[in-house]
């Protein structure tokens, strides 16, 4: 495995490096001068920086907000870029950075928990919380991927899931604490600061890290060799790797505590450094730092120049700009041909009789449905409803029950079909960004003035999911739908759409507060017609899929085998794409964009012996529906009188299960 990027030889590497950094720096400087000119006339800039007049509001604003923000953007950009370069070098993974390894997600959830629940006077400051959260997440990722010798795809998958799981935990806290807009702005990465405190707080950490990296220059160079070569030279390889990882974790955690999670700087800056012929480790680190600093500085100044009264989070803007850049860079990256069991997983599992499973799962669903309708908590404690009272309560509880079941079954079916179409056993609407695209479609429809009725929401979700899945297949076609490439494209699309959602959620529009609960997978406001619509979409899909079973049997074998067996790839993929989009769009309205049911249910069905296409589809739908009605019922009980959205609760259950599935993958 190699973390090198395919590059062409250039006789002037220094000039090529400047061709990347210099335009960014010039653009940032021009935007900075433009923004500063709106605060002060040019003759007051020097005094505003060094000795502002207390009687001049403009000078005070420039000294306490503008100049610290410029310095912080430079420091944060350089720090995140160096973190990405270090992680990519040590792990030999060209797509490793603080975000894809879950460090920013772990730091984010720890800071949110500290901010909401711990007094400011406690010893656990936000910086310490970020360090504990980011370090814990990174250690968990490394532990999960250690069994597979830190295989790049395993590292990225574990980091992605842990990062998403941490975001789910943070969303749960935000939902029950309030302050949605302010926390969303910080959680999307905000450089809007008051005073020089944050600059002063991270400066010592960056200085110490720089000194340590200078002392570790020779070990860093030796890490470019293979493990046997490093050991033969007497370098304590495990110790050096742990030390460098610790430095990267500390830098990333401290930056997250200061500015919030900012993605893609640590991916793009090192990639551009390698493309600029920075061949040695020292040059790569230096050029990565320069590129990251210039990039974040330029984006932040651009955000300030176009923002009005409503701030656009800088981190979200970086994601919007960085995602397309990553998609452009992916084909130029020479990645190892990592193995995957995706195309043969179904044949490895043992088969079980479907009748026994069907009876057992239906009995479970009936029991849970009965409990969901009858058992609850009231003001006087636990209460069992029956007779006329049960009939009256069913008007409120039955639609939720039906919608939850149909939402879970739909996302499970969508995940099963997606895994077979792509030949990727880890594919799902949540992992590949289809659910986030569906959520974005609904938000766009709402902001365009189309209202909040369920038919409009379904149309927006279907359109968003369809376009996302079509984009995913289009961008993956050159690699013959390689599972690892599809995961990386899915990461880029997920981050892109999440950035857009964060920007929209941070606008202050009152409609966004309503959508936040919906994005969490809430069934609270489900009406009878909503349940009928969800059930209708599920039934239609179940009636259509039996006519596509042959496609689903053959497509996991690969494009060449499918053509030899007479499958029209264009027609089959387009038809299945419509089904995936319809199911993912409809389920996202109920389950939310992140539940892990789409990846969990198909694997659970195979583990239970349902490996034939028809049996797996049915089993996945029943398992997904059962998980969602259990989550919906428990969501009404665990935090009474508050309610936890079923999608969030399903994600809290499904995340660990997904990680456990990763551990069971054959080495």
What confidence score (pLDDT) does residue 104 get?
A: 84
Contact 278, 13 (CB under 8 A): yes
| Tokens 């079923």, located at residue | 646
Residue 158 lies in a domain: yes
93, 203: one domain: yes
446, 321: one domain: no
Contact 96, 84 (CB under 8 A): yes
Residue 385 lies in a domain: no
Q: State the Cα–Cα distance between residues 471 and 280, nearest whole angstrom.
A: 36
In 3-state terms the chain splits into helix, strand, coil percentages (rounded to 5) of 75, 0, 25
Render pLDDT for 407-420 as a digit per residue (tens, 0 to 9): 899 999 998 998 88
Residue 50 lies in a domain: no
Residue 352 lies in a domain: no
Contact 505, 310 (CB under 8 A): no
155, 262: one domain: yes
Binning pLDDT at 50, 70 and 90, where does residue 619 land? very high
CA dist 358 → 317, 361, 364, 462, 547 (Å): 48, 5, 10, 30, 21
What confidence score (pLDDT) does residue 70 get?
A: 92
Contact 254, 202 (CB under 8 A): yes
Q: What's the mean pLDDT when you consider all of the chain?
A: 78
Residue 562 lies in a domain: yes
What confidence score (pLDDT) does residue 617 get?
A: 92
Binning pLDDT at 50, 70 and 90, where does residue 227 land? low
Residue 53 lies in a domain: no
Among the three residues 332, 348, 365, which one is the final residue of a domain in this structure? 332
Average pLDDT of the residues in 575-593: 81
Task: Name, of 65-69, 118-122, 313-317, 584-588, the range with top average pLDDT.
Answer: 65-69
Residue 123 lies in a domain: yes
CA dist 498 → 299, 343, 403, 503, 638 (Å): 17, 29, 25, 9, 29
CA dist 385 → 281, 373, 375, 382 (Å): 69, 8, 6, 10
Q: State the Cα–Cα distance between residues 263 and 497, nearest whole angstrom.
A: 13
Query: At CA 108, angle to CA 107 and CA 112, rounded to 5?
Result: 115
| Tokens 């460090």, located at residue | 103
Binning pLDDT at 50, 70 and 90, where does residue 82 land? very high
Which residues, 6+ apart, have CB-to-CB distance to 167 below 8 Å? 105, 108, 109, 594
Of residues 359 and 278, more confidently modeled: 359
Render pLDDT for 127-146 as a digit per residue (tens, 0 to 9): 788 888 888 888 888 888 77
Residue 371 lies in a domain: no
- Give a three-class secondary structure readout of 159-187: HHHHHHHHHHHHHHHHHHHCCHHHHHHHH
Q: State the Cα–Cα distance between residues 346 and 88, nearest whole angstrom.
A: 33
Average pLDDT of the residues in 280-306: 88
Contact 39, 61 (CB under 8 A): yes
137, 261: one domain: yes
Tokens of 349: 């599992």
Kindly state the percentage of the chain with pLDDT values over 90.
11
What confidence score (pLDDT) does residue 4 get?
A: 42
Among the three residues 282, 309, 332, which one is the final residue of a domain in this structure? 332
Read off the CATH number of the domain in which 609 is found.
Answer: 1.10.3470.10
554, 647: one domain: yes
142, 275: one domain: yes
What confidence score (pLDDT) does residue 124 get?
A: 61
409, 323: one domain: no
Evaluate if residue 602 carries a pLDDT over 60: yes
321, 437: one domain: no
Q: State the Cα–Cα distance between residues 164 and 174, nearest whole angstrom.
A: 15
Rounded to two decimals, the pTM is 0.74
What's the domain range around 412? 403-664
What confidence score (pLDDT) does residue 569 get?
A: 80
Among the three residues 281, 304, 332, which one is the final residue of a domain in this structure? 332
323, 410: one domain: no
User: Domain tally for the chain?
Assistant: 2
513, 647: one domain: yes
Contact 208, 243 (CB under 8 A): no
């Amino acid at each position: 495995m190699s973390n090198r990027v395919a590059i062409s030889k250039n006789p002037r590497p220094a000039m090529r490096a400047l061709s990347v950094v210099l335009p960014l720096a010039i653009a940032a400087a021009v935007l900075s001068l433009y923004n500063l000119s709106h605060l002060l006339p040019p003759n007051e800039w020097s005094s505003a920086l060094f000795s502002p007049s207390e009687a001049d509001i403009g000078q005070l604003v420039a000294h306490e907000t503008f100049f610290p923000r410029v310095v912080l953007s430079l420091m944060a950009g350089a720090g995140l870029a160096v973190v990405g370069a270090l992680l990519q070098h040590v792990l030999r993974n060209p797509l490793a950075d603080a975000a894809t390894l879950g460090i920013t997600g772990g730091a984010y959830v720890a800071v949110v928990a500290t901010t909401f629940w711990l007094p400011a006077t406690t010893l656990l400051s936000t910086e310490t919380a970020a360090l504990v959260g980011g370090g814990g997440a990174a250690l968990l990722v490394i532990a999960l991927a250690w069994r597979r010798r830190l295989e790049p795809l395993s590292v990225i998958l574990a980091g992605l899931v842990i990062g998403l799981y941490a975001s789910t935990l943070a969303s749960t806290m935000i939902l029950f604490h309030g302050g949605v807009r302010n926390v969303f702005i910080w959680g999307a990465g905000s450089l809007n600061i008051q005073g020089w405190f944050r600059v002063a707080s991270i400066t010592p950490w960056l200085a110490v890290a720089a000194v340590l990296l200078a002392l570790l220059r020779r070990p860093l160079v030796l890490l470019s060799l293979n493990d046997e070569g490093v050991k033969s030279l007497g370098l304590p390889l495990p110790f050096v790797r742990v030390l460098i990882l610790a430095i990267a974790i500390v830098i990333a955690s401290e930056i997250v505590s200061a500015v919030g999670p900012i993605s893609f700087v640590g991916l793009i800056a090192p990639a551009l450094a390698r493309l600029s012929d920075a061949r040695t480790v020292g040059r790569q680190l230096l050029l990565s730092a320069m590129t990251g600093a210039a990039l974040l500085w330029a984006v932040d100044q651009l955000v300030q120049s176009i923002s009005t009264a409503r701030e656009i989070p800088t981190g979200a803007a970086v994601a919007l700009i960085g995602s397309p850049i990553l998609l452009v860079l992916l084909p130029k990256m020479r990645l190892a041909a990592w193995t995957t069991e995706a195309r043969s997983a179904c044949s490895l599992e043992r088969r079980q009789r479907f009748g026994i499973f069907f009876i057992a799962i239906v009995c479970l669903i009936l029991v849970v449905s009965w409990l969901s309708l009858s058992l609850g908590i009231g003001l006087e404690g636990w209460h069992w409803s029956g007779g006329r009272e049960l009939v009256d309560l069913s008007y409120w509880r039955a639609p939720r029950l039906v919608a939850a079941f149909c939402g879970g079954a739909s996302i499970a079916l969508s995940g099963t079909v997606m895994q077979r179409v792509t030949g990727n056993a880890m594919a799902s609407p949540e992992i590949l960004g289809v659910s986030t695209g569906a959520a974005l479609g609904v938000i766009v429809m709402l902001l365009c003035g189309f209202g909040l009725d369920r038919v409009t929401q379904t149309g927006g979700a279907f359109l968003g999911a369809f376009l996302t899945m079509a984009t995913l297949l289009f961008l993956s076609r050159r690699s013959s739908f390689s599972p690892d490439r599809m995961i990386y494209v899915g990461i880029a699309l997920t981050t892109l759409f999440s950035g857009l959602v964060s920007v929209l959620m941070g606008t202050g529009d009152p409609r966004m507060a309503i959508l936040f609960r919906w994005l969490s997978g809430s069934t609270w406001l489900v009406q009878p017609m909503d349940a009928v619509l969800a059930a209708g979409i599920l039934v239609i899909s179940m009636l259509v899929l039996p006519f596509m079973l042959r496609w689903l049997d053959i497509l996991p074998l690969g494009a060449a085998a499918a053509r030899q067996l007479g499958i029209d790839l264009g027609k089959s993929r387009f038809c299945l794409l419509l089904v995936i989009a319809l199911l993912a769009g409809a389920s996202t309205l109920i389950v939310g964009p992140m539940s892990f049911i789409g990846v969990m249910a198909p694997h659970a069905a195979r583990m239970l012996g349902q490996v034939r296409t028809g049996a797996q589809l049915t089993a996945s739908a029943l398992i997904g529906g059962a998980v969602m009605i259990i989550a919906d019922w428990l969501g009404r009980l665990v935090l009474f009188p508050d309610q936890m959205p079923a999608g969030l609760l399903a994600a809290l259950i499904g995340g660990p299960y997904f990680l456990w599935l990763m551990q069971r993958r054959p080495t």
